[in-house]
Structure 1
Amino acid sequence: MKVEKLHINDHEEQVKDVVMLAARILLEAGAEGTRTEDTMNYIASHYGFIQNNSFVTNTVINFILHDQSYPRIYRIKERNTNLIKISKVNSVSRKLVRDELTLEEAFGLLEKIYITTKDHPVWFKTIAGALIALSFLYLQDGLPIDIFTTLAGGALGICITEIIKRRTPTQFIPEFFGGLTIALTVVTGHYYIPGGDLSTMLISSVMPIVPGVLITNAIQDLFGGHMMMFTTKSSEALVTSFAIGAGVSSVLIFV
């Protein structure tokens, strides 16, 4: 009986390990709380633990397999947007539920995803930011004369934001300096290349650093009844937007 009990406990710990690592990757990659809790529940339920309970916020994971097991708690200290990680974790969880992977194999794949799937480099995000800004310029019927200034503003803004993010864990400061950089770039470009619309260029250039994924996830959590996640994410998005606006306003107030 002792051997059997030990075997069962080992199995439970393996399930917990897989569930917690999957949840950790999802939350750190910017997934919404509803998706994270559903993934945790699907994996645990597949192995017969129907009474499992999970509760996540954007900073904490709480999970208990059943009433007689010890709970697991993990503090999320860093968050970013990495849709590749989210997609890969979803793929692993689906294969696990279809019995195409064992718990050991799933845990190994999740570890590999966590370690090797890195965020995009700064140069890649800089190019992407420039293209996003240009796209919004087109959507707002911007003038051809505004293209170069908007490209420069979007590229430099997200570049500065990402560099500061990787050097300091402080929230909202990177977005402030990103907004400040965008405003300085756009105002300078508008001065040397006059004739365009300053407001259109500012709005377009700011779009790459606007927390759009955060706002979308907050709304999804609201529809899913996850009020804690909705409150925390919407508050974070609000303060982030305020930081961007403060950075832009700091320049415009002197123009």
Structure 2
Amino acid sequence: MINHLDRTNQIVEVCLLAGKIMLQNGAETYRVEDTMMRIAASFGIRESHSYVTPTGIIFSIDGTGPTKLIRIAERSTDLQKVIIVNSISRKISSGELSLKEAYDMLKEVETNRLAYPLWVQVAAAAIASGCFAIIFQGSWSDFLPALISGGGGFYCLDFVHRLVKIKFFAEFLASFIAGILAMCFVAIGLGHDLDKIIIGSVMPLVPGIPITNAVRDLMAGHLVAGLSKGAEAFLTAFAIGTGIALIFSIY
């Protein structure tokens, strides 16, 4: 038999695991807090409190157990996992899942790698870069240089980030490599507008989701998380701009 305290601790573990998966994969802060409290309420815990920042989650239940903290060290973007956790949360709310079933499903989501293979991501980034070059009024002669430069820069981002766990450095090198490739294509006559090629090639590196999440968190009243994510997005933009500025100073 599971006593009340053990069950409460298990509920807290399920809530923290759901919040951890969502926060690590690009969910907004207010969505993480709302999901955790809904899961707790579905299992009979009406009074729960959560405090979420981009680097940690604090969760407690009034008067029934200790406050627990999870540190978030690695963050990426995998919205498929966020969708799956939301789906599990809805099933919990409707009473379709037991506590153990929910925990096992969340553990499976945490360990599974649902992201597309690297070559698919690089191909998508390359095609997007070429299309962005055209959207920003580049000529069709700039499509292929932007495609190759954008793909090369995105691959460099993944490769460097695996070696050095400093996001700023990886983004700086990625934009620098993309700019070098763009400059080489223009120098040998395969591209026409260097600025359009560079703009297209760095678009896959732009922190779109962090900017969106920062604005949504600020509008939801989560000032600390919103400002933190905004600062993270600013650093990414600064890294990209620094790499490109170095290219233009050389050119």
TM-score range relative to shorter protein: over 0.9
Deviation at 1:47, TM superposition (A): 2.1
Runs of 4+ in 1 over 4 A off after TM superposition: none
Aligned pairs for 1:13-24 within 5 A: 13-24=9-20
| 1:50 equivalent among 46, 53, 62 | 46
After TM superposition, the structure 1 stretch with the greater mean CA deviation from structure 2, 208-217 or 45-54, is: 45-54
Aligned pairs for 1:98-117 within 5 A: 98-117=94-113
Aligned-partner SS, 1:172: helix
Q: Within 2, Cα distance between the matches of 1:230 and 1:127? A: 32
Structure 1 pair 178–49 and aligned structure 2 pair: CA distance change class (3 A): same
1:119-166, CA deviations, whole angstroms, 9 ceiling, x for partnerless residues? 333212110111221221232222110011000111001100011112
Structure 2 gaps, min length 5: none
Deviation at 1:72, TM superposition (A): 0.8
1:89-143, CA deviations, whole angstroms, 9 ceiling, x for partnerless residues? 1111111111111110111011101101343332121101112212212322221
Query: Normalized against structure 2, the TM-score is what?
Result: 0.96
Amino acid of the structure 2 residue aligned with 1:188? C
Query: Which residue is equivalent to 1:221?
Result: 217
1:17-57, CA deviations, whole angstroms, 9 ceiling, x for partnerless residues? 11010011011111110110010011111222222000011
Total equivalences in the alignment: 251
Query: Which residue is equivalent to 1:39?
Result: 35
Query: Which residue is equivalent to 1:185?
Result: 181
Q: Within 1, Cα distance between the matches of 2:49 and 2:38? A: 11
RMSD: 1.4
Amino acid of the structure 1 residue aligned with 2:40? A
Q: 2:8, 2:64 within 8 Å by CA — same for their partners in 1?
A: no
Q: Within 1, Cα distance between the matches of 2:9 and 2:79? A: 28
Query: Normalized against structure 1, the TM-score is what?
Result: 0.95
Q: 2:51, 2:58 within 8 Å by CA — same for their partners in 1?
A: yes
Structure 1 gaps, min length 5: none
Query: Which residue is equivalent to 1:82?
Result: 78
